[in-house]
Amino acid sequence: MLDTGAVFHYAATMVVCGQSFSREILERIGTMLKEEPQLSRRALSRRVCESLNWRSPNGRLKEMSCRVALGKLAGAGVLELPAARPQPPTRARPVWTEELPELAPVKASLSELGRIELIVVRSRHSRASRLWRALMARYHYLGAGPLCGGQLRYLVRSERYGIVGAVAFSAAAWRVQARDRFIGWSEAARASNLNALLANSRFLILPQVEVPHLASHVLGLCARQLPGDWTQRYGVRPLLLETFVEHGRFRGTCYRAANWQHVGVTRGRGRQDRSRTHRVPLKDVYVYPLRHDWRERLRAQPEPAQREHKAVDLTEGTHDWAQEEFGAAELGDARLSARLLSLARDFYAKPRAQIPQACGSRAKAKAAYRFFDHAATSMDAILQSHYQAACARIAAHPVVLAVQDTTSLNYNTQPAIENLGPIGTRPDTWLGLLVHDTMAFTPQGLPLGLVDVQCWARDAQAFGKKHQRKHLPIEQKESSKWLKSVQAAARFQARCPNTTVVSVGDREADIFELFDLARTLQHAPQLLVRAEQNRALSEEQGKLWEHLARQPIAGVQQLEVPRRTKRAARIAKMAISYARVELKAPRTKAQLKPVSVWAVWAREIEAPTGVEALEWMLLTTCQIDSFSQATEKIAWYAARWGIEVYHRTLKSGCQIEQRQLGAADRIEACLAIDMVVAWRILHLTKLGREHPDVPCTVYFSEMEWKALVTYIHRSPVLPDEPPKLREATRMVASLGGFLGRKCDGEPGTQTLWLGLQRLDDLAAMYEILTNMLARSPPTVSSGHSYG
């Protein structure tokens, strides 16, 4: 019954409905069906659940999830299920109008209703269930259901007037952009912890009941009673509630009165809206936390997979970089994983090419567009494997700088792209996406990989309401991007205990909550932030800049200032002062405690006339006890420039702003691949400088380096050993316009990405010619002479 060849033609393991199906498991299912051909699908799912111990937290077998998974396996052609048995015709669900109570209009105060209680509907066959359905069928615009997943239904009963309403909670929506951004969880955390988030899917106060504050009072009762009832039934403690209020039909007043938070608006797409027809009304998204630590629990990462990445040894020779960076991606289907590897190799070979040109054929281009349109290929899902590979590289270094910064992607030339937002000073001019990424660097500037990527589109309706942000918690502001990056760095710090991870940010990162988070966060990284505000210090210290001005100069450091457009290169003399300071919380955040950090002030002395003197004020949680430690932190901050070079490589080298994909979520999936490609180009640039004498095979395949040497030297005679990495890198850069003069220094990313694109064509032609020569018989001279 099992076609094992079809299964393992492309994978050894498939993950379906959250369950892994290995070769052994699929063979076991096939044997089960062969021995008992009369087995029904329902009985089979029960057997499989028992065999895998696939249970929900309350201990029940997850038979329905198993039946769905088996159906998907059969649809993929890897499993042959018994024929579905015919089902009796479905009878229309009756509406029990006779169960509706006779209720006269009620106009009273809340206290006049007496005690309000929630009656749990425990069985679908009970009278309470019939009454609940009848009320919803008659009075609720969505009807009685069906509700999705696990569910709890309540009747709302007044001590004096009887039933006055009904309410229901069920499984949360799989994806909601506004909600997911507010929570700030990763793709892996969302998939692991979504069962702790519940949706208020029905809420009804009978129309003849007019009692002020009744609705918000009922919502408060639900928030207190629901966690215990849900835990008792399903074995999972809910952490957060969500609901959706349809525009034009309701205003959400009762939710706001019950302290639910408005976190955004849906996109107007239903669960099955693959064609993006926007036929579903827009809805406001409200959430209600049930615990004070709900965000930390929902963001908690699942246990890492058994597979571990190992850092690549530069002396070991060539390796498959795409497999290294994307091989552990869990996309739910091995065919998607294989397509991801193919796209990564194609994009790296032609970084500036559009998708059809990079893919090389119409069929591969169509497959690429289908890949980016797939629900499983989100940015976070694609990047998880790269994060693991970066973690292995980070663990090999004593100090790593997690540099974070924001860049914008402008798609104003492509107005047909959906779900973009304003990125300029006006809401109707520049449209695009914002990307806040964190790149790990060594103190010498070698990029080790991405640590965190956040991508979003601003809400055009909220544009111009900056004055309102002061009253919002930081979780609802864009500033939360800095905190999320630090939390991501903390996860890497936890996995790399022998590495000191330092989160580095520019002046925009000068947020008091960031330092407060670093003080309370488990496995928190060190912080290094350039100060923007002249913050108030403890009473005896005064203000930040004034206090540092009173400190003695610890020493003078010379700094090479490169030439710019109208500024000549020079050697700046930087006077360095440092001190430990205690930052006071802003007045609007008086509930936060003061934070103790070290401040390093570097300012230029004897600056040339007419030239603005350089000045940096750095705040760090790293201890500073000497002049050398202070200058070390300045050097660390100077390495932040690497992420600016990376963003230029991403935009100019990978041409991400020219991708024509039609929707923001497709662009994000494509961006995930382009960001790793841009990192690899930057990594090659730096690696050729830091490790010039390793073999070039650490980065180039045999066909690539042979084609490169043959073309550069215009000779088919190859050397006995492949060239060193520095030599090969300069050869590639020469294909992109690098001249290699004494004054040119080492090649940069621009000449490298141009050279890589040409190298791909050279390698392809070299392979064709090599195969032709191998098939052609050698020409043998007869040695005869005529004349």
Cα maximum dimension of the chain = 128
The string of pLDDT tens digits covering residues 36-91 is: 888 888 888 888 888 888 877 667 788 888 888 888 888 877 788 877 766 655 55
The string of pLDDT tens digits covering residues 145-156 is: 888 888 999 999
Average pLDDT over residues 644-669: 81
Q: Do the beta carbons of residue 656 and residue 366 sit within 8 Å?
A: no
pLDDT > 70 fraction of the chain, expressed in percent and rounded: 83
- Residue with the larger pLDDT of the pair 693 and 662: 662
The string of pLDDT tens digits covering residues 555-610 is: 998 877 766 666 777 888 889 999 999 999 888 887 888 999 999 999 988 888 88
Question: How many Å apart are CA 487 and CA 647, to the nearest integer?
Answer: 22
Question: How much is the pLDDT for 83?
Answer: 76
The string of pLDDT tens digits covering residues 679-705 is: 988 888 777 666 666 677 766 777 777
The string of pLDDT tens digits covering residues 277-298 is: 556 788 999 999 998 889 888 9
Question: How many Å apart are CA 168 and CA 160, to the nearest integer?
Answer: 23
Average pLDDT over residues 345-367: 85
To the nearest 10 degrees (0 to 180), the angle between helices 512-520 and 480-495 is 30
Side-chain-facing half-sphere of 465: CA atoms under 13 Å: 11
Question: How many Å apart are CA 300 and CA 471, to the nearest integer?
Answer: 28
Eight-state DSSP code of residue 268: S
Question: How many Å apart are CA 495 and CA 489, to the nearest integer?
Answer: 10
Count of beta carbons in the 10 Å neighbourhood of residue 491: 21
Lowest mean pLDDT among 428-437, 503-512, 549-558: 428-437
pTM higher than 0.85: no
- Residue with the larger pLDDT of the pair 28 and 415: 28
Q: Which residue has the tokens 């497709």?
A: 666
- Residue with the larger pLDDT of the pair 267 and 596: 596
CB burial string 217-237: b at 16+ within 10 A, e below: bbbbbbbeebbebbeeebebe
Average pLDDT over residues 181-210: 89
Give me 657's structure tokens.
Answer: 């702003």
Task: State whether residue 532 is helix, strand or coil.
Answer: coil
pLDDT, the chain, mean? 82
* Backbone conformation region of residue 175, classed left if phi is above 0, alpha if psi is from -120 to 50, else beta: beta
Question: How many Å apart are CA 347 and CA 512, to the nearest integer?
Answer: 40
Cα–Cα separations (whole angstroms), residue 362 to 327, 393, 565, 658, 674: 25, 37, 45, 19, 20
Chain centre distance of CA 331: 14
The string of pLDDT tens digits covering residues 727-768 is: 777 787 787 777 777 665 677 667 776 777 677 677 777 777
User: What burial class does residue 136 get, using C-beta atoms within 10 Å of its C-beta: 0-12 exposed, 13-18 middle, 19+ buried?
Assistant: buried
- Residue with the larger pLDDT of the pair 161 and 738: 161
Question: How many Å apart are CA 678 and CA 681, to the nearest integer?
Answer: 5
Those residues whose C-beta lies under 8 Å from the C-beta of residue 672, and which sit 6 or more positions away, are 379, 382, 383, 453
- Nearest CA to 438 among 423, 448, 427? 448
| Structural Rg of the chain based on CA atoms | 31
Question: How much is the pLDDT for 387?
Answer: 93
Task: State whether residue 710 is helix, strand or coil.
Answer: helix
- Residue with the larger pLDDT of the pair 420 and 340: 340
Question: How much is the pLDDT for 148?
Answer: 83
Task: State whether residue 601 is helix, strand or coil.
Answer: strand
Beta sheet of 283-289, edge-to-edge order = 116-121, 151-158, 162-171, 197-205, 240-246, 283-289, 261-265
Q: CA dihedral in degrees (251, 254, 258, 259; nearest 10)?
A: 10
Q: What confidence tier does 223 reach under pLDDT thresholds 50, 70, 90?
A: very high
Question: How much is the pLDDT for 694?
Answer: 65
- Nearest CA to 179 among 242, 136, 221, 123? 242
Q: CA dihedral in degrees (666, 438, 185, 394; nearest 10)?
A: 110
Those residues whose C-beta lies under 8 Å from the C-beta of residue 682, and which sit 6 or more positions away, are 447, 642, 645, 646, 649, 749
- What is the chain's length? 787
Q: What confidence tier does 13 reach under pLDDT thresholds 50, 70, 90?
A: low
Task: State whether residue 741 is helix, strand or coil.
Answer: coil
- Nearest CA to 352 among 767, 761, 764, 775? 761
Beta pairing class for 570-583 and 595-605: antiparallel
Q: Which amino acid, one-letter code, is at 502?
A: V
Task: State whether residue 509 is helix, strand or coil.
Answer: helix
Average pLDDT over residues 437-443: 94
Q: What confidence tier does 629 reach under pLDDT thresholds 50, 70, 90?
A: very high
Question: How much is the pLDDT for 781?
Answer: 43
Q: Do the beta carbons of residue 539 and residue 608 sit within 8 Å?
A: no
Q: What confidence tier does 110 reach under pLDDT thresholds 50, 70, 90?
A: very high
Those residues whose C-beta lies under 8 Å from the C-beta of residue 579, and which sit 6 or more positions away, are 547, 548, 551, 598, 599
Q: In 12-145, which ranges are continuous DSSP H helix?
A: 23-35, 41-52, 63-75, 127-139
Question: How many Å apart are CA 217 and CA 223, to the nearest integer?
Answer: 10
Question: How much is the pLDDT for 300?
Answer: 83
Average pLDDT over residues 643-667: 81
Lowest mean pLDDT among 486-490, 630-634, 647-651: 647-651
The string of pLDDT tens digits covering residues 301-354 is: 776 544 444 554 444 444 578 888 998 888 878 888 899 999 998 888 887 778
Beta pairing class for 240-246 and 197-205: parallel
Task: State whether residue 289 is helix, strand or coil.
Answer: strand
Lowest mean pLDDT among 231-245, 360-374, 495-509, 729-743: 729-743
Question: How much is the pLDDT for 393?
Answer: 92
- Residue with the larger pLDDT of the pair 472 and 10: 472
Q: CA dihedral in degrees (23, 28, 30, 34; nearest 10)?
A: 160
pLDDT surpassing 70 at residue 98 = no
Average pLDDT over residues 193-221: 93
pLDDT > 90 fraction of the chain, expressed in percent and rounded: 33
Q: Do the beta carbons of residue 241 and residue 198 sit within 8 Å?
A: yes
- Residue with the larger pLDDT of the pair 450 and 353: 450
Helix or strand holding residue 773 (H, E): helix 749-775
* Backbone conformation region of residue 514, classed left if phi is above 0, alpha if psi is from -120 to 50, else beta: alpha
Handedness of CA 386, 387, 388, 390 (dihedral sign): positive
pLDDT surpassing 60 at residue 671 = yes
